[in-house]
Chains A and B, each alone.
Chain A
Amino acid sequence: EVQLVESGGDLVQPGGSLRLSCVASGFTFSDYTLIWVRQAPGKGLEWISYITSTSGTIYYADSVKGRFTISRDNAKNSLYLQMNSLRHEDTAVYYCAREKKWEVRGGYYSDYWGRGTLVTVSS
Chain B
Amino acid sequence: EIVLTQSPATLSLSPGERATLSCRASQSVGSYLAWYQKKAGQAPRLLIYDASNRATGIPARFSGSGSGTDFTLTISSLEPEDFGVYYCQQRYGWPSLFGGGTKVEIK
- A61 interface contact, C-beta 8 A: yes
Closest chain A CB from B11 CB (angstroms): 16
Number of residues from B at the complex interface, CB < 8 A: 28
- B3 interface contact, C-beta 8 A: no
Residues facing B in A18-67 (CB within 8 A) are 37, 39, 44-47, 50, 59, 61-62
Of all chain A residues, which has the CB nearest B48?
A109
- B21 interface contact, C-beta 8 A: no
* B43 x A114 contact (CB < 8 A): yes
Closest chain A CB from B22 CB (angstroms): 16
10 contacts between A and B (CB under 8 A): A44-B99, A46-B98, A47-B98, A50-B94, A106-B31, A106-B32, A106-B53, A109-B55, A111-B55, A113-B43
Of all chain A residues, which has the CB nearest B53?
A102
Interface residues of A (CB under 8 A from B): 37, 39, 44-47, 50, 59, 61-62, 95, 97, 102-103, 106-111, 113-116
CB contacts (< 8 Å) of A44 on chain B: these are 85, 87, 98-101
- B46 interface contact, C-beta 8 A: yes
CB contacts (< 8 Å) of B50 on chain A: these are 102-103, 106-107, 109
* A110 x B98 contact (CB < 8 A): no
Of all chain B residues, which has the CB nearest A63?
B95
* B95 x A61 contact (CB < 8 A): yes
Of all chain B residues, which has the CB nearest A59?
B94
- B83 interface contact, C-beta 8 A: no
Residues facing A in B58-107 (CB within 8 A) are 85, 87, 89, 91-92, 94-101
* A47 x B97 contact (CB < 8 A): yes
Other CB < 8 Å A-B pairs besides A47-B89, A106-B32, 18 of them?
A: A44-B98, A45-B38, A45-B44, A47-B95, A50-B96, A61-B95, A95-B43, A95-B44, A106-B31, A107-B31, A107-B34, A107-B92, A109-B91, A110-B36, A111-B46, A111-B55, A113-B43, A113-B44
